[in-house]
Amino acid sequence: MREITILTGTNRFVLDEDAANALLAHIRSAGGDNQAVAEAPLLAAIEDSGAVDVRWSDDGKHGALHAINAWLISEGTTGMPDEMPELRDELMRDLRLPPFDEEIPYDAT
């Protein structure tokens, strides 16, 4: 089975083909305004028979993050590939969204 590697600012996430296709389906259904820019590199990696890494622009990261958030809200982590919550956190970190915004300290209380 093929593997798709998603590169973020500091990490790499390796998804099997089923996980990558599940993420693609969620991006297509819930990618928001950035659906197309999130979908394009992932689709290219899935359709390419060689080794292609997924690198999203900030807009693509926003689209993927929107889709993963919608996935979590609608289905929770049941049935979600193990990498998705960690990928979500990393995308939030890359985009400097709370709780990873360095300018605004995060206070969980």
pLDDT tens-digit profile of 15-64?
A: 999 999 999 999 999 999 999 999 999 999 999 877 779 999 999 999 99
More confident of the two residues 79 and 50: 79
Report, as an integer, the average pLDDT of 77-101: 87
Give the full edge-to-edge strand order of the sheet including 12-16.
12-16, 3-7, 53-55
Specify the pTM. Answer: 0.87
Where do the H-state alpha helices sit in 11-82?
Answer: 17-30, 35-47, 58-75
- The pLDDT assigned to 40 comes to 97
- The pLDDT assigned to 50 comes to 73
- For helices 17-30 and 83-94, angle between their N-to-C axes, nearest 10 degrees: 50
What is the Cα Rg of the chain in Å? 14
Domain boundaries, the chain: 3-94
- The pLDDT assigned to 79 comes to 83
Name the region of 68 (left: φ>0; alpha: ψ -120 to 50; beta: rest): alpha
- The pLDDT assigned to 107 comes to 52
Q: Has residue 76 got a pLDDT over 90? A: no
Give the mean pLDDT of the chain: 89
- The pLDDT assigned to 2 comes to 84
